[in-house]
Structure 1
Amino acid sequence: MHANVYLPEAFLTEMATILPSSLNMEDFIAACQRPLRKSIRVNTLKISVTDFLARAAEKGWQLEPVPWCNEGFWIDADESLVPLGNTAEHMAGLFYIQEASSMMPVSALFQADDAFNSVLDMAAAPGSKTTQIAAKMDNHGVLVANEFSASRVKVLHANIERCGVRNAALSNYDGRVFGGWLPEQFEAVLIDAPCSGEGTVRKDADAMKNWSKQAVISIAETQKDLIESAFHALKPGGVMVYSTCTLSLEENQQVCHHLKQTFGDLVEFDSLADLFPNADKALTEEGFLHIFPQVYDCEGFFVARIRKLGSVTAPEVKKRLGKFPFSKASNKVEQEIAKQLKETLGVTLPENSQVWLRDNDVWLFPSALEPMLSEFKFSRMGIKIAEAHKKGYRWQHQVATALTNGNEANYVELSIDDAREWFMGRDVRPSEQSGKGEVLVKFANDVIGLGKWVGNRVKNGLPRELVRDKNLF
């Protein structure tokens, strides 16, 4: 039990005034004091849900489906020896440890047969929803993942890299810039807004230590700016999801109503009544989902789906982009790179990507990103696939994580002991094997990296940010 959860009296008084008549404060407080059930989301860029369920059964993991996410499951697993985050399946990117309620915004964005070619994730770190969006897009189109905090961009990139995402472009700005810089560029926008975090006490007993009504109102003003920016960045006919992990009306319904008051009939609220069975238990009169923690035994959360019905004039901005440091590869160069990649590793370049060059570095950008390159400065685009040298190309780690399908012939299979060494950043000596040149590295039939034969040793190519040092599977 989290009986030590801090819930300020002023906060409880506030909750009592907004709690639906079908709920009561005793259940609310009791739910806030219960630890969260652990939940995971299967990464379908790497493995199908069916195949993952078979793996989980072999490991004795007990899974219960999350009703609003086909890839989401509550999980009961013995973590006494190995935490879920240090399992081979997690490190290979087969699943993401993600709170169940936080899976809901992306499910609300991608409904039925929705397919989007350009998506903005305005507040993306640490990457749970970004990687969920990329899986929904099946690595097609372009996904712009923005994060205001520079230190959190590194975590975002590490998760994108682990999960095999190749259609993302990362940026590091205040989300308020997008409406002016990239007006009406995106078919879909997710704004999982920075908030007071009232719904997060079940995982952080001290989340409410600095809570005040004044802070809530102040944060809501920032959220109004962000939702306006997101609306400007959205194409006419496009869909936006606004979500928070908080409960106050000021940060939720009132922010959406502000958008409606600002843009009038161009704003339409889509009802989420049919998002999943029993969604009506959290449905507001506008069709939003306002989720108190006792309703579905998860974090407190808010989700709204908003449609843009027409064009609006975007804010004017003065742009100073500087010289773009990349050049698009010629068809001849791209064909040569594709040929060498196929011959060396058996890997094929995807059709929806383009090769770009920067000095000796070779990058693969999503084709749908090209119209934005002259309009906006990104911190990282696509994936780095190679470094050119005199004798050809030295392939990079993301070739293994983002371009392989597991059927490539040039690979070395590691034992469990060698796999542990690999994930700790060390070279390995697979028993009675030797080879030449670069090679894909597999464990349990999953591609986990890229190495290079040096005699009977495979030199480790794992990026530093993915190296683990203890308590492995």
Structure 2
Amino acid sequence: MNINTFIPDAFIEDVKSYIPDHLKIEDFITTCQTPLKRAVRVNTLKMSTKEFEQECAQRNWEITPVPWCQQGYWLERPEQEEAALPLGKTDLHLSGCIYVQEASSMLPPMALKDALTHANTVLDMAAAPGSKTSQLVAMLNNDGFLIANEFSSSRLKALSATLKRVGAYNVGLTHFDGAVFGDYMPEMFDAILLDAPCSGEGTVRKDADALKNWSLQSNIDISDVQKSLIKSAFHALKVGGTLVYSTCTLTPVENQAVCQYLLEEFAGLIEVQTLSDLFTGADKATTDEGYLHIWPQIFDSEGFFIAKFIKTGAKAVSEPKTKKGAFPFAQMPPKQTQQLLQEIKKQFAIKSLPGEIYLRDKEVWLFPTVENEQLLHAVKFSRIGILIGTTHKNGVRLEHEFATCLGHLATKNTHNLDAQQAADYFNGKDIRLPQPTTASGEVIMCLNGAPVGLGKWQKNKIKNSLARDLVLDGKLITWE
């Protein structure tokens, strides 16, 4: 029990006005003052759930499946280990095999699951820090083209780092107010996730001060922003496409009222899809409209709201807009492309790359295959795909994310790090080899079978190629 959790009286009075009849306000307050259970999601781009379960059994980690996400687990570690080594510094996390993600936040991508089976273009309108974006990438299995947008420049950098760690290569990053997409990219997306900025009322279990600045007026002000975003999402969505709207707040002002605005603004052109059958027990949190209103005490989780819509008809954008400025990338010439692919095949036995190779000055980028090339030119991107190398006089020098995102394709010149070697690698140290090697050139470093970076073979060691900004200090991997 966290008695320091700040819950204003005015907030409680407001909640009393809309809490469902079958729930008690006393249970709500008690749950809000109870610490949140830690949950993780297995990143299936790098590890299977079966492998994760086996790892947990060997480590004496206790796991309980999250009922709405097959890749999600509540996780408890031995007390001594928990005190000695943060989960974020374990091998499973550093290798990108798991992502620490609150269980409720796994629900919005799961609501898009059916749509993603036939989606080629997907938009995540408010993507940072990357939990749902990386979940969408894994659900897409890196296929198609996912645009992840984030308005905050500092959060965009963190999002980019997350995507490299988990091995995502089908993502384009943008840095806009999400309200622009309807005007610049009308009817271009098969599926859209709008996990909207909100008052965060549902996050009080992990942030005792989440309600410190709460006011009904701030709810109303934020709802105006949410309405502009959901209107933009409607216009950006193709007819027949799926939109999921979600928040980590509880008030109907930011939830049901925003959904009602969408339904009234585009009456006859959009329909609600019920989420009552999304998972076993979902009916406990389903509203009369078919939305999921997750109260913390129902599933012992954060508070969340999720709504799903299908667009049935179009309405023209009043003032469509086009991007100004030239596209700064050009496809790599065929001869140069062939030479690069031959070098990659020779060194790593990778037969082909999943996408198109582009150049920007000396940078070599791997773009995802885009069904509609107009997407690449409709808005300015912060980055598209992954930076796989930089050109120099002797060819192309590979970059870190070539390894983290494509290293799983290699069947040659890989090295699986043991615990001590992994700790040394992330500490920026070279890796000593037990026996001299005749191998030469670059090597893909792996941890738990997942690629984590590059090194370079040298007779008695592997020279560490980890970028300086990725080097970590302190205790890693092992806790004893």
Aligned residue identity for 1:367: T
- Bigger drift between 142-151 and 336-345 goes to 336-345
Aligned residue identity for 1:25: I
Secondary structure in structure 1 of the residue aligned to 2:88 = helix
1:23-77 per-residue CA deviation (whole Å, 9 max, x = no partner) reads 0011000000000000000001111111111111111111111111110010111
Aligned residues with identical type, % of pairs: 48
Given the superposition, is the C-alpha separation of residues 346 and 311 from structure 1 closer, same or farther in structure 2, using an over 3 Å criterion? same
Name the counterpart of 1:470.
474
Name the counterpart of 1:182.
185
Distance 2:365 2:115 in 1: 34
Alpha-carbon deviation of 1:282?
Answer: 0.6
Q: How many residues align?
A: 472
Instruction: Select which of 354, 358, 361 maps to 2:363.
Output: 361
Distance 1:318 1:194 in 2: 24
Tell me, yes or no, if structure 1 residue 400 matches structure 2 residue 399: no
Tell me, yes or no, if structure 1 residue 69 matches structure 2 residue 72: no
Instruction: Select which of 444, 459, 464 maps to 1:460.
Output: 464
Name the counterpart of 2:44.
44
Contact 1:142 1:169 in 2 (8 A): yes
Structure 1: stretches of 5+ with no match in the other structure: none
1:63-100 per-residue CA deviation (whole Å, 9 max, x = no partner) reads 11111111001011131221111111111000100000
Alpha-carbon deviation of 1:437?
Answer: 1.2
Tell me, yes or no, if structure 1 residue 233 matches structure 2 residue 236: yes
Secondary structure in structure 2 of the residue aligned to 1:403 = helix
Aligned residue identity for 2:364: V
TM-score by length of 2: 0.95
Distance 1:260 1:36 in 2: 34
Name the counterpart of 2:144.
141
Aligned residue identity for 2:9: E
Distance 1:463 1:33 in 2: 42
Alpha-carbon deviation of 1:429?
Answer: 2.3
Contact 2:49 2:71 in 1 (8 A): yes
Distance 1:471 1:349 in 2: 38
Name the counterpart of 1:167.
170
Alpha-carbon deviation of 1:468?
Answer: 1.9
Name the counterpart of 1:439.
443
Distance 2:245 2:352 in 1: 35
Secondary structure in structure 1 of the residue aligned to 2:209 = coil
Aligned residue identity for 2:54: A
Structure 2: stretches of 5+ with no match in the other structure: none
Given the superposition, is the C-alpha separation of residues 89 and 13 from structure 1 closer, same or farther in structure 2, using an over 3 Å criterion? same
Contact 1:142 1:167 in 2 (8 A): yes
Given the superposition, is the C-alpha separation of residues 465 and 43 from structure 1 closer, same or farther in structure 2, using an over 3 Å criterion? farther
Structure 1 stretches of at least 4 aligned residues deviating more than 6 Å after TM superposition: none
Alpha-carbon deviation of 1:113?
Answer: 7.5
RMSD: 1.5
Distance 1:125 1:288 in 2: 24
Aligned residue identity for 1:103: M
Alpha-carbon deviation of 1:406?
Answer: 6.4
TM-score by length of 1: 0.97
Instruction: Select which of 289, 294, 299 maps to 1:291.
Output: 294
Distance 2:223 2:446 in 1: 48
Distance 2:321 2:416 in 1: 54
Contact 2:115 2:241 in 1 (8 A): no
Distance 1:444 1:136 in 2: 21
Distance 1:129 1:316 in 2: 31
Name the counterpart of 2:412.
409
Alpha-carbon deviation of 1:255?
Answer: 0.2
Name the counterpart of 1:16.
16
Aligned residue identity for 1:415: D
Contact 2:147 2:173 in 1 (8 A): yes
Contact 1:270 1:305 in 2 (8 A): yes
Secondary structure in structure 1 of the residue aligned to 2:148 = strand
Instruction: Select which of 447, 453, 456 maps to 1:449.
Output: 453
Distance 1:112 1:181 in 2: 23
Counterpart mapping for 1:238-249 below 5 A? 238-249=241-252
Instruction: Select which of 423, 426, 435 maps to 1:423.
Output: 426
